[in-house]
Structure 1
Amino acid sequence: MSTRHWLANFLDAQAAEAGAAQNTLQAYARDLTDFTEWLARGGKGAASAAQADIEDYLVHCDAQGLARSTRARRLSAIRQFYRFAFDEGLRDDNPAIQIKGPGRDKRLPKTLQLEEVDRLLEAARQTGRGKVDRLRNTCLMELLYATGMRVTELVSLPVASCRGDPQMLLVRGKGGKERLVPMSPPARAALNNWLKARDDAEAAAKAKGKPAFPFLFPSGGKTGHLTRNRFFLLVKEFAVTAGISPERVSPHTLRHAFATHLLAGGADLRTIQTLLGHADVGTTEIYTHVLEDRLRELVFDAHPLAQEERRKASGGTSSDG
């Protein structure tokens, strides 16, 4: 079996058995295509590659200036690929099993202040060619900030799941995993307003013989719903209107703001992990940077030695009750 067939079978298995999302499958395909093409240039295929070849490929990626996170992702794809090959009996060994990756940079996620989020939400209410566009834009941003959904989860929401003024939404995340996310009163109000405008527009379209759309944010494009790229551009427009640098704002920035502001408000990591749909709480721990100021204030306000120092500074006295 050729390397090309190995790769096709691996992607089919990921889609059918692991329930991998389309974006994940595309990432696997890109990374493994780059790897197998590199092997082919050296006269080798997936069946003959050894551990040293994979290590040489990672050195090659480093020499190209690829980020540590990209190299870690590519090694992860190669590991999954060879685990599949071993499990399927395509190889009697796994040449990637003992390779240690470069790890990932634990960079703090970009986030926004509460006041900046308020300005973005206000900008969404003002941006659009007409009232319907403005209602849609408001709903998009209110839902994103209220729930912390991923962009794909948001733009592909089925309209049926949003009927009846729900207090929580059922979201299908990575790998087809479902979770419930609560909605704030402003998000529910924005959703109800958008549903009325959306349904009126759809009724008018039906009268002209056009089909109904199953998505909350419909589009006439191939997907049937607003695309990730279109929403990305919309958010940049909102940033300009809000007087915030567009480079600082993306849909993912709003997801980070959701988590950061919740944590700063007292929510625990496990709750935020559930709301974000993270499989591992370790992924959520990157947000703990916002706890530093809170912890310092807690020690200063509550620790008995700190209280004693404040009493002395104010000229008071202490007593041993």
Structure 2
Amino acid sequence: MNNKEISNILENFIPTIYRDMLGARDCSSLTMDAYSRHWKNFIDFIRSNQLGNNHDRYIEKYMLILKDQELSSASIDQALSAVRTLLKFVYSRGGPELNLGKNIKTKKNEKLPKILSEKQIKDAINYYEGENEITLRNRTLLEILYSSGLRVSEAVSVLIKDIYTSEGYIRIKGKGGKFRQIPIGKEALLWIQKHSVNSDGKYLFPSKKSKTHISRKTAFIVVKEALASIGIAKEGYGPHVFRHAFASHLLQRGADLRVIQELLGHSDIETTQVYTHLLERNVRSSWEQFHPHAKS
């Protein structure tokens, strides 16, 4: 059975399962609308991905895509639950048994990302010193990642025309084609001005090998080298540590969570709330370390 056949089978059952669940299970229309979106997204995923005969890996692959979208564990679990419900319904109504993956669940208590201190971030950024072209590029990239909390894909593709120096912000095209304006600090602007003389007039970080911008892989290498200079050379540490630090340091200094959500480009406030958990963890850790009665 190919992708088209699988997606058509699932799509044909959606009107029936929607009607039955809304009535028999007393689900709200809002819940059913959410389920419908999950079903449509999963069907679109099947149609656009060629996994050959590896049907049993569809759900696993889909979960990885959801994680890349920075959704919360609860949101991912709801999406996977909707998919499993649809698959069971198809089989219960005489359709084929579609074995599209294991009964995967996200970890409810998954580890929170490690947050670097302001000093660690500063030391990592300062690793790149000098005026040669590559050093200027690398320093500017790190300054932007931390100053504006951009995703790595957003940072590497910044357009010169979207940098408003006098106003002090960058215009970013984020996920879903949505634009947002992000303030950028004076330090980052200074490095942008130094580095932009080496740009091609279109991209802030032009590639030497193609007519587009530098790759995410290049950005990872730049970040890894800077982090290694401050003693952090672990797997899982990449450009996102600057984004995490950006959000956490704002929160620690009293910024409103909704403002941070807007700056990060999160569509779901739950995704941003992970930083409140980080703050709580850091407060607890500091109390245990410094309060005289913490260990009595």
Q: Same fold (TM over 0.5)?
A: yes
Q: Quote the offset at 1:119 in angstroms.
A: 0.7
Q: Quick one: distance in 2 between partners of 1:290 and 1:261? A: 11
Deviations 1:267-315 (A, max 9, x none): 111011000000010111111124337978xxxxxxxxxxxxxxxxxxx
Q: Quick one: distance in 2 between partners of 1:230 and 1:30? A: 31
- State TM-score, norm by structure 2: 0.63
Deviations 1:74-99 (A, max 9, x none): 9948968x99xxxxxxxx9xx9xxxx
Structure 2 partner of 1:218: 206
Q: Is the 8 A contact 1:263 1:290 kept in 2?
A: no
Structure 1 partner of 2:198: 198
Evaluate the alpha carbon distance shift between residue 7 and residue 74 of structure 1 in structure 2; reply closer, same or farther with a 3 A threshold. Answer: farther
Deviations 1:120-142 (A, max 9, x none): 1111235xxx6111111111001
Of 237, 249, 274, which residue of structure 1 is paired with 2:262?
Answer: 274
Structure 2 partner of 1:47: none
Q: Quote the offset at 1:145 in angstroms.
A: 0.1
Deviations 1:37-90 (A, max 9, x none): 326xxxxxxxxxxxxxx9xx86xx6xxxx9x9699869948968x99xxxxxxx
Q: Quick one: distance in 1 between partners of 2:117 and 2:271? A: 22
Deviations 1:14-49 (A, max 9, x none): xxxxxxxxxx99x9469954596326xxxxxxxxxx
Q: Quick one: distance in 1 between partners of 2:46 and 2:206? A: 28
Evaluate the alpha carbon distance shift between residue 158 and residue 240 of structure 1 in structure 2; reply closer, same or farther with a 3 A threshold. Answer: same
Q: Quick one: distance in 2 between partners of 1:177 and 1:284? A: 18
Structure 2 partner of 1:111: 115
Letter in 2 for 1:133: I
Deviations 1:107-129 (A, max 9, x none): 31222111110111111235xxx
Quick check: which has more Rg, 1 or 2? 1
- State TM-score, norm by structure 1: 0.59
Gaps of 5+ in 2: 9-40, 87-94, 285-296
Which stretch of the first structure deviates more once superposed, 221-230 or 174-183?
221-230
Deviations 1:195-237 (A, max 9, x none): 1x315xx5xxxxxxxxxx5211000335611100111011111
Q: Is the 8 A contact 2:4 2:47 kept in 1?
A: no
Is 2:217 the counterpart of 1:229?
yes
Q: Quick one: distance in 2 between partners of 1:251 and 1:274? A: 20
Is 2:233 the counterpart of 1:245?
yes
Equivalent residue pairs, number: 235
Q: Is the 8 A contact 1:155 1:225 kept in 2?
A: yes
**Aligned residues: percent identity?**
32
Gaps of 5+ in 1: 9-23, 40-53, 84-91, 203-212, 297-321
Q: Is the 8 A contact 1:172 1:178 kept in 2?
A: yes
* 1:25-44 paired onto structure 2 within 5 Å: 28=45, 33-34=50-51, 37-38=54-55
